[in-house]
Structure formats: C-alpha cells, structure tokens
Amino acid sequence: MEENQKKPAAFAKALAAGAVICALIGAFAWYSSKQAGNYSELQSRAESSSTEKTAAENAVPEEKSGAGASQRTSAPEEAATAATAAAVAEEVPIDFKKIWEDCPDVYAWICIPDTQIDYPVCQSPEGVDQDFYLSHRADGTEEFAGSIYSQNYNKKDFSDPNTVLYGHDMSNGSMFQNLHFYEDKEFFDENREVIIYLPDKVLRYRVFAAYNTSDEHILLKFDCFKDPKVFKQYLKDIIDGTYMFSGLIDEETKLTEDSRILTLSTCNAYDNQRFVVQCVLK
C-alpha cells in the first residue's frame, strides 16, 4: 500500500516540475520577444562622445577594404551627386568608428522622430546572402528580429534614384513596426521627417506616401531605375496611386527624375503584400 501511495506523489512532483519548466520556457520566450530588436546598448555606444567627432574622424579606415567597405569612401565623382549636394551641413551625432568595432557592415543610421525607429543600417558585402540581416543583428549574431538593412542593388551613399531599406514588423514595436503609425492620417500629416546619418553627412527626407502594395521587388522590377524616364514615370504613378492598395499620399509633393527617394519596407497582414513609407530627399 505504501508503495502505491508513493507513485501518485512522485507523479504529482513530476507534473509540478514539468509545470515549472514550461513556465520558465514561456518566460524566456516572452523575455526574448520583448528584447528582440533592442539596440539600446549600441545606441548608447554610438552616441557617446560623438559631439567631439568630425566627418574626417568618422571616415572608414583604409584597412577596411573589400566590397563591404569600399562604398563607404566617397569617390570624387560622387561629390556631385544629388544626395551629396542636398546633404545638410550639420554635425553627425553617431560615432561610426565605435560601431565598426563590432558591426563592420553598418554604413548608416536611421532615425524617425516620434517613433522607436532609431537603428543602424546594414548591408551584406558581395558574396554574402543579401538577406543575411533579415535574421541577424548588426553584429552578425542570429536573431529573428534581424536588422534594418539594404541589398547591394543600392549604393551606400543614398545617391540612387530609389534606396530601399527593409525591416521586420515586430509585435513588440521594434524594427520597422512603427512605420504602421503612418496609416493614421494625423500622424502622417504631423510626422514627415526621416533622418539618415552617414559617416560624413546628414540626409533629411520628407515623407510623401505610406501605403500597402504588392510584394514585388521594386528595384528588380524597374531595373534599379537606370533609365531616368522609367523613374520619372514611377514617381508619377506613386502620386497617382497606381501601386497603392490602401494608404495615404501627399499629392502636392513635387517629384522629378532628379529626385532621390527613400523607400522603407515592412510586412503587413497579408503574405503577398508589403507596407511602404516613401520619402524624398529635401
């Protein structure tokens, strides 16, 4: 009889232990989901002592060669590009040298006021999966929240007709989730600025469109807008709402083939769609 009594007690203990383990696993999953996309430590490092930095000090060291770094150094002919010409002459508040100690593929930093979007921007070097940073942090460690990143169809100086940045729509509000704030007209009307920090300059953009669209690869579909006429028609189609399933567009925005736009792309509720926020370099 005593042995039979011990069996239910042991079973109860096993159930209790299992419940504790499940609770711990659940707590870890919850904590991981909350911490995913957290770049507060890197943000602090990037901003520390940055007030003493000059553009020259932020320049990429010569030993950082190869495709992953070569585009960070401005070639003479790039000095005349629209992006360079429109760059705001102001101090860069990001210490890129500190970032590059652990995150060599970071080439820019994006900040959107009144949102949580305040992140480094990565791009994989040639020969590496161009969507590597879809599932990896800026330092290369694996994380499902990934990073904000571009593909090498775009140059790193934002001088292309259309530079596209990608980021996850995370349930904890991190990465590009806050782009969905622009679905609200009041927020759209009152929050138009997007800031890109580069090692040697600051680029300020004005939001002119936020809408749900197809998941077609924009750059490949239009051959990276190598033809100015194609780009001009694309801009016209945006303002006309050709690509918009639903969303908001400032139809008064003036765009030409010389405009330089930034497309911020994230997920929406549909597998075959994307939500994009588009802005033009001021």
d(CA 244, CA 139): 35
276 and 265 in contact (C-beta within 8 Å)? yes
Residue-wise pLDDT for 255-266, tens only, equals 999 999 999 999
pLDDT in tens, 205-236: 999 999 999 999 999 999 999 999 999 999 99
Counting Cβ atoms within 10 Å, is residue 96 exposed (0-12), middle (13-18) or buried (19+)? buried
Amino acid in position 26: G
Q: What architecture is domain 41-281?
A: Beta Barrel (2.40)
Q: pLDDT by residue (tens digit) across 5-23? A: 555 555 445 444 444 333 3
All residues at 6 or more sequence positions from 245 whose CB lies less than 8 Å from its CB, including other chains: 211, 212, 213, 214, 273
Q: How many CA atoms lie within 13 A of 276 on its CB side?
A: 27
CA distance 154 to 208: 21
Its pTM stands at 0.77
Check residue 43 and give its pLDDT: 76
